[in-house]
Amino acid sequence: DFATMLGCEPFSIMTVLLPVGISFYSFQSMSYAIDVWRGTAPPVKNFATFACYVALFPQLVAGPIVRYNTVAEELETRTHTLENFVRGIGFFCFGFVEKIFLANQVGIIADRVFAADAPGVINSWWGSLAYMFQIYFDFSAYSNMAIGLGLMLGFHFPRNFNGPYRSVSITDFWKRWHISLTSWFRDYLYIPLGGNRVPTGRMYFNLFLVMFVSGVWHGANWTFVCWGLYHAFFMIVERANNKNAWYYKAPKVLQILFTQVIVLFGWVLFRADSIGDAVRMWKNMLGLGATAASDVILSAEIFTPTCVVFMALAGLFSFWKYRSYDWCIEVSFKKSLFALALFVLATLALFTQSYNPFLYFQF
């Protein structure tokens, strides 16, 4: 009755009322139930097939979120080819390299800055930028490794990232970041609530609700809730401007720069332990906060030649128009040797690092 009152499908309101329960009743299980109920996917013929889908280990923990209707046929029968297996190895190798050589390295900088009492302006920006790179390469690495494992097993998983730090608006950012999650909320929550086929005020409410649920999904902390609402604000403002950012007439380079500054301040909120910590970091970034005497020591730790090199590499591959996903679409002997060589180097580097799990394992 409550769903009818809001004018939406029962499953969409279930997603609203049980955002925390999503972690228990997984996206996979919900996708199956909704797809079968809508008639867009056939029901499974046996429990083993359903169990295989829910427990599909390459994407079980952090994604990409694979909907039942996209792999329904492959759960029943798959075609295994040497080309797909080699492509899968390429995806896995590049994901592994992203994790070891980029995410873990810049993560050291981010951890030191966010653990500091009162970092100065330069150190605050450097550490926030490091976390911006860390969360991208950490999650992109996991997604590529999952896609690779899926290909080795005969499954085709969807692309999960498409150069999000090259986006020209927050709306564009969410078309490129964690694509499987964004499309899941769009198709199973936003559109059933009416999407943009409703009065303007209701459409803004739908955007607000989707981003609110997205924030809560990441964790039971006010920082995640406010992070979701932070992005909701900019998405509503852009929707009111025909999906354009207020700076859309600026040169593309400036559009990308302005967008990533907004994203960067949002990541500070996402990374902070509390709202107070996020505000303090923002003040330090703007030069409005106090700077501890130990900031000089912090600078010496995070501006070493090694740190600068890895930050430069992270920045290059973040904004470079060529993506590892595109590189792995077609395989060749030279590409395979290159990927395996990088994998060997990353494996050797792994033994020099401490335990460093994927960030999205906590969500």
Q: Which residues are catalytic?
A: 218
For residues 266 and 225, give the distance between their C-alpha atoms in angstroms, rounded to a whole number: 11
End-to-end CA distance of the chain: 31
Question: In angstroms, rounded to a whole number, what is the distance separating the alpha carbons of residues 59 and 196?
Answer: 31
Residue 59 has φ and ψ, to the nearest 5°, of -125, 20
Taking the C-alpha atoms of residue 8 and residue 190, their distance in angstroms, rounded to an integer, is 9
184 and 67 Cβ atoms separated by less than 8 Å: yes
Q: Show the 3-state SS of the chain.
A: CHHHHHCCCHHHHHHHHCCHHHHCCCHHHHHHHHHHHHCCCCCCCCHHHHHHHHCCHHHCCCCCCCCHHHHHHHHHCCCCCHHHHHHHHHHHHHHHHHHHHHHHHHHHHHHHHHHCCCCCHHHHHHHHHHHHHHHHHHHHHHHHHHHHHHHHHCCCCCCCCCCHHHCCCHHHHHHHCCHHHHHHHHHHHHCCCCCCCCCHHHHHHHHHHHHHHHHHHHCCCHHHHHHHHHHHHHHHHHHHCCCCCCCCCCCHHHHHHHHHHHHHHHHHHHHCCCHHHHHHHHHHHCCCCCCCCCHHHHHHHHCCHHHHHHHHHHHHHHHCCCCHHHHCCCCCHHHHHHHHHHHHHHHHHHCCCCCCCCHHHHC
Instruction: Please give the distance of CA 124 from its chain centroid, rounded to a whole number.
Output: 23
Q: Which of 228, 201, 97, 84 is nearest to 153 (CA)?
A: 84
